[in-house]
Structure 1
């Protein structure tokens, strides 16, 4: 399912060489954004939480205390495999955006209701969308 969603998300970006270059540089951030969208579309709180874990795992280094080894890492094999904060943040502004996304993902993970999780997922998706531009 994830690969299908990622392929659909990336297919729209393949229209121009500039977009392709950007997608190759920010593949972990794009993948995190896809999972934020999956958290927003989730029908249950556990499903939303699992996608917040995926976002976090895409953003942080696998050696980070925030990385959940029990959760899937959809960004395994991407970049230097150190997470988007390490692999993709080239400027202070990009790093700030990704740190902001990480904080929102952590809040979403702590949500007590699906409705609150959806609010965080929508916010997270927007932050990651902005980080990709």
Structure 2
């Protein structure tokens, strides 16, 4: 096979594969959502209120991003370098679910009862999964 034909086949294969590639923003959003789901699950399974709230802070920070309302710079941002925040990175049709998830997480942060905070974390996780 000639080098020209081989190069042509490689170029065609690369073009076809690019049709199936996710846009850059979609890849970032996918990472942010996965991280937020993980931390919501960690919150739901935490044995004490402090750890539930710690992980819910992480969820909020992932969802709203550093420039978003509710971002707490005193808490870790496990989504750092994954995007600008799931809500600002999400397409319009997913933003409502993610805003609901952020509100649920904020509600869990306000809870003083462990079981209610864990329930809020579980509901937060479900809302985020609905936007994946």
TM-score range, shorter chain: 0.7 to 0.9
1:124 is displaced (CA, Å) by 0.8
Indicate the residue corresponding to 2:44 in structure 1. Answer: 40
Q: How far apart are 1:119 and its partner, in Å?
A: 0.8
Paired positions, count = 109
Residue 30 (structure 1) aligned to one of 34, 46, 59: 34
Q: CA RMSD in A?
A: 1.8
Aligned structure 1 segments of 4 or more residues deviating by more than 3 angstroms: 20-23
Aligned equivalent of 1:71: 75
Q: Report the CA distance between 1:30 and its aligned residue.
A: 1.3
Query: What displacement does 1:64 show?
Result: 2.8
Question: Could you tell me how far 1:21 is from its partner in structure 2?
Answer: 4.9
Q: 2:61 aligns with which of 31, 35, 57?
A: 57
**Higher Cα radius of gyration:** 2
TM-score by length of 2: 0.76
Give 2:12's aligned residue: none
Supply the distance in 2 between the matched residues of 1:35 and 1:29 (Cα, whole angstroms): 10
Q: Which runs of 5+ in 2 are unaligned?
A: 1-20
CA–CA distance in structure 1, aligned partners of residues 80 and 53 of structure 2: 19
